[in-house]
Amino acid sequence: MFARAERRTLRVAGGLALGFVLVFAGAATAVLLAHAGGSGAPLFDAYTWRVAQFTLMQATLSTLLSVVLAIPVARALARQRTFPGRVWILRLSVVPLGLPALVAALGIIEIWGRQGVVNDLLRLGGLESPVSVYGLAGILIAHVFFNMPLAARFLLAALDRIPPEYWLTSANLGMGSGATFRLIEWPVIRRVLPGIAGLIFMLCAASFTVVLTLGGGPAATTIEVAIYQALRFDFDPQRAVLLSGLQIAVTGVLIWLLSLFARPPEEGMTAGRDIRRFDGRRRRLSDGLILLVFTLFTAAPLAATLVSGLSADFGRLTLDPLLHRALATSLAISFASGCLSLAIALPIVLVPRLAEMGNAGLATRLMARALPATGSLILLVPPVVVATGWFLMLRTFGETGRFAPVIITVVNALMALPFVVRVLEPAYSTHLTRTARLALSLGVTGMHRLRWIDWPALKKPFLTAFAFAMALSLGDLSAVAIFGAEGFATLPWLLFSRMASYRTADAAGIALILGVICLLLTLPSTAAERPTESPSADA
């Protein structure tokens, strides 16, 4: 798979990536643990148990719903390659990631809330009192809104990696939808499903604003809330770290269980034809219906955000120097964190491949296990914990505000890591299976291979992963909160600051700007969504 020099580079890169992530997160937690100020309150009291139970329960349900609903959507998207607006459906799926949770929650409420569109329709239908979503229902709707498009996007990428020859054959054999699903689609879906489910589970487990705002009361409390509580009013850093540990342990077990269901890939060879779905035409109506419902569900809260955003005074807002500064800061930070995230993700994706080679040493094999685990579990270390830890370390070096951009960049890059890996890993794996041996036998290695073999085929997954990482970083607020320095502001920070001074219209305008940027970010990765010459590893 890899030439000798490539193997060496990869081993070094893997070691660096692993070391960097572990040191960055580990140092922060160690410093917090060592900091005085623990209250000595027992970690496993009734409160913690109840909160842990609720976290697991809502995350499990949210994940199941998101994943199960995403399967028909992804299948429909894969079949209907010329569906009107298809590329925009794909682009929209990134936007929720880049919106601060509060903005998305308010958008959801405009649709599903007591005064929302759904209740308006029900009232037209003669229903007296509004249906309330506050409680588990609201949490699930919000989590499905955030994650189902994500799951659909990942599943679609997997389906698109099926060799196009399969569709030709299945059409020749006259396979029905059921047989196609069982024999062609499910094996592929099954391979990626555990990873997707794991990622979504972590996202939902670490949910904070959505759970509190839509949860209806403190019965809906996640471990993340308890962590935040421990770091704020209670100021008990040790407890915060221990609770993070609990969160990682609980979720880690679940993700390990999920990984048992993963199957090694069965890659088929392809001559690199265009994907043509011969079964598309007869399913056009039902697929159209599925996609319509999906688009309504995803786009409606975004449209609500758009509408309230348009009420902002853009004439004044766009001339606001503070907004310009925040925009520049946000773009710079998210660009840098996108690059960093890709750089760390590459060894995470490639080292396990390296370990599959017969002559891999023990160190490589260990690294191949540790890297992916670290890369996904990092999502469960709350950014506020890491940021607080680094704040403690850096305060000895003078003004902490100076370091804020760096810390936020790294924290965001680590947050995005699981997404980036999920996008790159399957694409890379398929690509390597199809090209690695040939490239090696032709002696195309190193930079040449990157330039001529890998990049053309993997350009799209790379750009997609980059868009995900940038969007996530754009919408993040958690890491900024502890560092506050004069003149330092990001877009979400400015948004919240405006909200806190009653300027809701400004806040809505900034939310709109954030949403538009996220949409723009997806353009490069979806530009070639029309039939291309080599759709071998689309994402």
* List of residues contacting other proteins (CB under 8 A): 35, 37, 47, 50, 102, 105-106, 109-110, 113-115, 129, 132, 134, 208-209, 212-219, 221, 225, 228-229, 231-235, 320, 322, 388, 391-392, 395-399, 401-402, 481-482, 484-486, 493, 496-504
Residue number with CB closer to other proteins (179 or 328): 328
Residue number with CB closer to other proteins (263 or 402): 402
CB of 15 to other proteins, least distance (A): 25
CA distance 341 to 415: 9
CB of 527 to other proteins, least distance (A): 34
| Interacting residues of 238 by C-beta distance below 8 A, sequence separation 6+ | 32, 33, 35, 37, 38
What the block records as the tokens of 403 is 């370091």
Residue number with CB closer to other proteins (88 or 134): 134
Please name which of 86, 83, 271, 278 lies closest in space to residue 180, comparing C-alpha atoms.
278
CB of 132 to other proteins, least distance (A): 7
Residue number with CB closer to other proteins (189 or 482): 482
Please name which of 194, 159, 154, 197 lies closest in space to residue 64, comparing C-alpha atoms.
197
CB of 123 to other proteins, least distance (A): 14
CB of 475 to other proteins, least distance (A): 16
Residue number with CB closer to other proteins (212 or 242): 212
CB of 115 to other proteins, least distance (A): 5
CA distance 493 to 477: 6
Residue number with CB closer to other proteins (127 or 257): 127
CB of 493 to other proteins, least distance (A): 8
Please say whether the beta carbons of 381 and 248 come within 8 A. Answer: yes
Residue number with CB closer to other proteins (124 or 269): 124
The alpha carbon of 333 is separated from its chain's Cα centroid by a whole number of angstroms, namely 17
Residue number with CB closer to other proteins (201 or 391): 391
CB of 215 to other proteins, least distance (A): 7
What the block records as the tokens of 369 is 């296990």
Please name which of 127, 140, 139 lies closest in space to residue 64, comparing C-alpha atoms.
140
CA distance 152 to 146: 11
CB of 486 to other proteins, least distance (A): 5
CA distance 419 to 466: 9
What the block records as the tokens of 381 is 């270390």
CA distance 482 to 489: 12
Residue number with CB closer to other proteins (212 or 368): 212
Please say whether the beta carbons of 16 and 347 come within 8 A. Answer: yes
How far are the Cα atoms of 218, 223, 237, 269, 332 from residue 109, in angstroms, in the given order? Answer: 19, 24, 34, 47, 32
How far are the Cα atoms of 2, 7, 162 from residue 11, in angstroms, in the given order? Answer: 11, 6, 30
